[in-house]
Amino acid sequence: MTSRRQARTAARRRKRRIRRVALTLVLVLALAGAWAYHSGSAAGHRSAPVSATASPTPAVDLDARLADAVQDAVRDADGHVAVGVLDPLSGASADYGTDSFVTASIVKVDVLATLLWENSGELTAQQKADAVLMIENSDNDATTRLWQAVGADEGLDRANTAFGLSATTAGTEGYWGLTTTTAADQLQLLRTVFEDDSVLDAPSRTYLQGLMGKIATDQDWGVSAADDTGAVHLKNGWLPRTAEGEWVINSIGRVVHDGRELLVTVLTDGSTTKEAGIALVESVAEAATDGFTAATGTGTGATGTPAASGSPAPEATTQR
């Protein structure tokens, strides 16, 4: 198992190096073109007065750069995708895709954050046992008990207002896995869990982070594909949509990529198999983090565009 994981990690790093070289070449060519245009323009207007003040460095549109980075990963995909990446240190972030997706089991992070927020971090022994089962093993029965403890959909919606999740709607009638959300909202949830400026107190954040760092081995996939250290914190979700015969495959977490801590969320639906959905999530996570670090490592300014939302119709199905 260890040798296979090491081989897979080495292969990912080789692919990332190739992507970084390609992205760097694109950036160099773009800057060279801009310089050539500026030089030509200056040569044609020699009589114009020269300003003593240097022009500010133009901002990089990170949303556009992220979209460019993930195009190859999604071009032949049988599903559709939204992704978000955020650097907590600089505050830079980018989103690709504005649709709303069913959460499946990534909502379990939200459920535990809600429970901790409602109880100021004080959980009973049974709630702690259920929290371990829910996050580390993605146990559904434990989740249902904690879902009821937070007040079900009304409790989750109330907490999400406090967390700043403006485009997330809790599932109803006990179907917590049919909560709908966006990539931008899942980044905000990760900020609530991992950043100091949070409505969750420090012990609550540390506790939840600790559980996300102990995910069961058979669930070590998803955004962890973009991690260079093996110390990833994540939660995955997978859900067959019985009406369509397709899969929802989601992954959120914190990774270290190119020496930088990043919060990453990848939401997908429409894959024909679970395996295809996982492959799509991992490919997108790697491409997105490569593109993001290449774009934000140039020293230029950066701007991002927040995601909007829509809501697919919910359906009753087995929750994962």
Could you give all domains of the chain from N- to C-terminal order, each with its CATH number?
60-303 (3.40.710.10)
Q: Which residues are 247's β-sheet partners?
A: 240, 271
Quickly count: other Cβ atoms within 10 Å of residue 24's Cβ: 13
Lowest average pLDDT, out of 65-69, 88-92, 311-315, 316-320, goes to: 311-315
Confidence of residue 313 (pLDDT cuts 50, 70, 90): very low
Q: pLDDT, tens digit, for every residue of 257-275?
A: 999 999 999 999 999 999 9
For the chain, percent of residues with pLDDT exceeding 70: 74
The pLDDT of residue 10? 55
Quickly count: other Cβ atoms within 10 Å of residue 217's Cβ: 7
Lowest average pLDDT, out of 72-81, 121-130, 243-252, goes to: 72-81
Q: pLDDT, tens digit, for every residue of 74-127?
A: 887 777 999 999 999 999 999 999 899 999 999 999 999 999 999 999 999 999
Q: Are 95 and 83 in contact (CB under 8 A)?
A: yes
For residue 250, pLDDT over 80 is answered with: yes
DSSP state of 169: B
The pLDDT of residue 227? 96
The pLDDT of residue 60? 73
Sequence letter at residue 48 = A
The pLDDT of residue 301? 41
For residue 46, pLDDT over 80 is answered with: no
More confident residue, 91 or 11: 91
The pLDDT of residue 304? 47
More confident residue, 186 or 41: 186
Lowest average pLDDT, out of 10-24, 139-153, 213-227, goes to: 10-24
219 token code pair: 């669930």
The pLDDT of residue 213? 97
Residue (of 183, 158, 182, 180) closest to 169 by Cα position = 180
For residue 308, pLDDT over 80 is answered with: no
The pLDDT of residue 92? 95
- Spell out the residues 6+ positions from residue 256 whose beta carbon is closer than 8 angstroms to its own: 227, 228, 229, 231, 232, 262
The pLDDT of residue 34? 40
For residue 299, pLDDT over 70 is answered with: no
The pLDDT of residue 307? 34
Q: pLDDT, tens digit, for every residue of 187-214?
A: 999 999 999 999 999 999 999 999 999 9
Give me the mean pLDDT over the 1-10 stretch: 49
For residue 2, pLDDT over 60 is answered with: no
For residue 19, pLDDT over 60 is answered with: no
Q: Are 109 and 134 in contact (CB under 8 A)?
A: no
More confident residue, 213 or 4: 213
Lowest average pLDDT, out of 116-130, 145-159, 230-244, goes to: 230-244
- Mean pLDDT (the chain) is 82
Q: Are 86 and 292 in contact (CB under 8 A)?
A: no
The C-alpha atoms of residue 261 and residue 193 are separated, in whole angstroms, by 14
For the chain, percent of residues with pLDDT exceeding 90: 67
The pLDDT of residue 72? 82
The pLDDT of residue 29? 43
